[in-house]
Amino acid sequence: MAGLAQLSVFGAGNAPDTLVGACKSDDPGVACRLVWDLSHSSWAAALTKDYLAGPVNLVLRVAFVVLLALVCQALAHRLINRLTERAAHSLLPAWRNGRTSAARAAPGRAAGGRLPGRLVRRRRGAAGAETDPADGTGAGLAPPDPQAAINGAAAQAEAGLVDERRKQRVRALGAILRSASSVTIFAIAGFVILGDLDINLAPLLASAGVVGVAIGFGAQSLVRDYLAGIFMLVEDQYGVGDVITIGDATGTVENVTLRITRVRDVNGIVWHIRNGGIETVGNESQGWARAVIDFPVPFAADLAAIRSLLAQTGEAMWNDPAWRALMLEPPEVWGAQEISSDEVTMRIVAKTPPLRQWEVEREMRVRVKAALHEAGIYPAATAD
């Protein structure tokens, strides 16, 4: 009877609210429950639920998603850095004719299980004889070979160039992978946040698909440039410092991005070339190079004598320590390359490290010219 009397006094619309009714939810939450317990005011509880607990909860959820995305990004970047560094150390060194530079520098040491190119330290005893620090005696030790030291220095220099190129390539690939992982992680985080904001993702994804198709048709060349740049880095076609030939442009690569390659030629002209427009590229800086020297001699000259003279000139240059470091193998005389009614072109070649062939060519021309002049052999125009 008391409840009916109270209901009749306040009216059905003025009946006191419950916690669930005031907070408008079966799960009122901590803030709304606390305000209701303290004030028993449905207005205060509803205000807390709508303007305090809801936005704070949403902000906390968004912050959690962003923090989780940052953590995932940090972990992905750390994993990529480790993988790229491991790949940099696991790549095979540059091979030259089936043997590494270090093994060529000191084959005897490599066969004995010691590090290639490492020189055995020796000290001189009181009598001036060489002694080995291992046993203190000088028995059975050969004098130091200067050429071995030159070969070792050349091998170390080449290994340094290979390592630097490898590091540049790994850094570029790592940057691409880190950017791709960051875009993927934050794109997923963005979709999760939009879902928390009660935004319908279906129309948004449909619109994004249409926009993507339109951009794809409008920016085909741009996409082609980026894809070509990625494959260029992955396949290690060329890098900064390489001398390459692309169409009419021949020069040194100064900068490589995913979109363009910048090349400076011998005249100082800078060429900006889109990666997507590169069909063929010639690289003069990978592995090894070859110095090619052609020298014309009179048609009536004794080719066998000239061939022997060229071989002696090449052997003398090979035995010169200053030039031995710039050649990987002894020069070879290939003989008659071209023949006409007046002259015969003789060719001698030498295998060199990348980008050192021009130095060897200039010196070889000087030596060949001097040797032929000393032997009384002149070009056909001046043979008479």
Q: Could you read off the pLDDT of 15-71 as tens digits, one per residue? A: 445 666 666 665 566 666 666 666 767 666 666 666 566 677 777 788 888 999 999
- Of 184, 260, 253, 254, nearest to 222 by C-alpha is 260
The pTM of the full predicted model, rounded to 2 decimals, is 0.52
Q: How far apart are CA 284 and CA 262, in angstroms?
A: 16
**Which residues are bridge partners to 349 per DSSP?**
292, 332
Return the bridge partners of 265, or none: 251
Highest-confidence segment of 14-23, 70-79, 202-211: 70-79
* pLDDT range class, residue 87, cuts 50, 70, 90: low
The pLDDT-based confidence of 94 (bands split at 50, 70, 90) is very low
In the chain, CATH 2.30.30.60 covers: 223-283
Q: Residue 92 pLDDT > 70, yes or no?
A: no
- Check residue 102 and give its pLDDT: 40
Task: Inform me whether the pLDDT recorded for 333 exceeds 50.
Answer: yes
Secondary structure (3-state) at 117: coil
Please state, in angstroms and rounded to a whole number, the distance separating the CA atoms of residues 144 and 240.
38
Element containing residue 319 per DSSP (H, E):
none
Where in the chain do CATH 3.30.70.100 domains reside? 289-382
Q: What is the CATH number of domain 223-283?
A: 2.30.30.60
Fold (topology level) of 289-382:
Alpha-Beta Plaits (3.30.70)
> How many angstroms from the chain centroid is the CA of residue 165?
7
Q: What is the pLDDT of residue 109?
A: 39
Name which of 154-163, 262-271, 303-312 the model is least confident about. 154-163
pLDDT digits (tens, 9 = 90+) for 10-26: 344 444 456 666 666 65
Q: For 9-18, 114-123, 129-138, 298-307, which range has the lowest pLDDT when averaged over its residues?
A: 114-123
User: What average pLDDT does this structure show over 141-160?
Assistant: 57
Q: Rounded distance, CA 176 to CA 276, Å? A: 17
